[in-house]
Amino acid sequence: MKSNRRLITFIAMHTDIVDLRQFYHSELGRLAEHSIAMALSSLWVRLPQERLVGVGYAVPFLDRFSADTERTFAFMPAGQGAVNWPVGSLSSTALIFDEELPLPDSSIDRVLMVHSLEFAESPRETLKELWRVLAPGGRLVIVVPNRRGVWARMEHTPFGSGRPYSRGQLTHLLRETNFTPGASAEALFFPPSKLRTVLSLRRAFERIGRTLWPAFSGVIIVEAQKRLYQGLPVAARASRRVFVPVLAPHGVPTTRSR
């Protein structure tokens, strides 16, 4: 007698672009941005004349790195929505499907993923697509919610949505998709509270947390390099998405004269 196995697919709804902007404009969001940015700076000091792409909602951090780059793009998933970036300048934003990026092979030097991988329908396909567009020796940095951390359990922040990861899971996924994991960092050791008394102790929580409980950080940050000595199998795949423009032009209905 054959047993039937049901394949359960984890499908996470993207956090809406409006909610993401509101969070990073709040006091809690600004402090979270600062903590993550400091951890990112320890991995990427400067990006001299390199091509950088932010995938997901990386806008709060792109401003810190774009000054030294040759060019910087903000790729935002269709399920999330997009906003114009940079503000007050020609837009460098694109609305994308993360398994089919509008870029040629080996065209990007670095990729920063924030609020992205935890919402991917197929994380492996997403990382394979990033492998394709990265140049030889290109680097990828992923920021994901830590499944052991408190932030992944609180729904009033964007880090409480989607699929959280452990460091081991993320490392295994990167190796499976032909990346070599390298340096890593942690951030968000302070509780995701809106109380000013708690937020005033953020620096102490961050400093002590890195020393005493690094496994319980709010996010895990891992840098990986594109590996070249083992090729990925090439297979044609059809897109599972059909995009309809938001402002699709429709002709004015005409009435026939009798």
Would you give per-residue pLDDT tens digits along the chain (258 residues)? 444 443 334 456 789 999 999 999 999 999 999 999 999 999 987 778 899 999 999 999 998 888 889 999 999 999 999 999 998 888 999 999 989 999 999 999 999 999 999 999 999 999 999 999 999 999 999 999 999 999 999 999 999 999 999 999 999 999 999 999 999 999 999 999 999 999 999 999 999 998 999 999 999 999 999 988 655 555 555 555 555 544 444 444 444 444
Tokens of 26: 């709040």
CATH of domain 17-226: 3.40.50.150
pLDDT of residue 172: 97
- Report the relative pairing of strands 219-226 and 134-145 from DSSP bridges: antiparallel
The helix or strand, by DSSP H or E, that contains position 211, with its residue range, turns out to be helix 202-212
pLDDT of residue 238: 53
pLDDT of residue 12: 66
Spatial strand order in the sheet of 108-114: 93-96, 71-77, 51-56, 108-114, 134-145, 219-226, 179-187
Whole-structure pTM value: 0.84
What is the rounded CA–CA span in Å between residue 254 and residue 258?
13
Tokens of 214: 């690094």
pLDDT of residue 220: 97
pLDDT of residue 228: 81
pLDDT of residue 11: 57
- Reported in sequence order, the residue ranges of 86-148 that DSSP labels E, i.e. its strands, are 93-96, 108-114, 134-145
* Torsion angle defined by CA atoms of residues 139, 74, 166 and 168, in that order, rounded to the nearest 10 degrees: -20
